[in-house]
Amino acid sequence: HVYLGKALFITYQIDSSQSHFTLALQGLDEKEKAESDASLYLSYIANREAYMQTPEQVTLSPISQVNTPGNESSSCLSLDGQTLFFTSSRKENTGSGKDEAFDMYFQDIWYATWDSSKKAWSEPALLPGDVNTPEHDASLGINPQGDLLFVYKSEQGGNIYYTRRKRTGEYRKPKPMEGQVNTSYFESGASMSADRKKLYIISEREKRSAQGGGDIWILKKESKYAYGEQENPGTPLNSL
pLDDT of residue 232: 79
What share of the chain in percent tops pLDDT 90?
Answer: 42
pLDDT of residue 146: 85
pLDDT of residue 151: 93
Tens of pLDDT, residues 162-219: 999 999 999 999 999 899 888 888 888 888 888 889 999 888 887 766 676 788 889 9
User: How many C-beta neighbours within 10 Å does residue 108 have?
Assistant: 25
| pTM for this entry | 0.68
pLDDT of residue 139: 92
Tens of pLDDT, residues 142-171: 988 888 999 988 777 778 999 999 999 999
User: How many C-beta neighbours within 10 Å does residue 102 have?
Assistant: 12
pLDDT of residue 128: 95
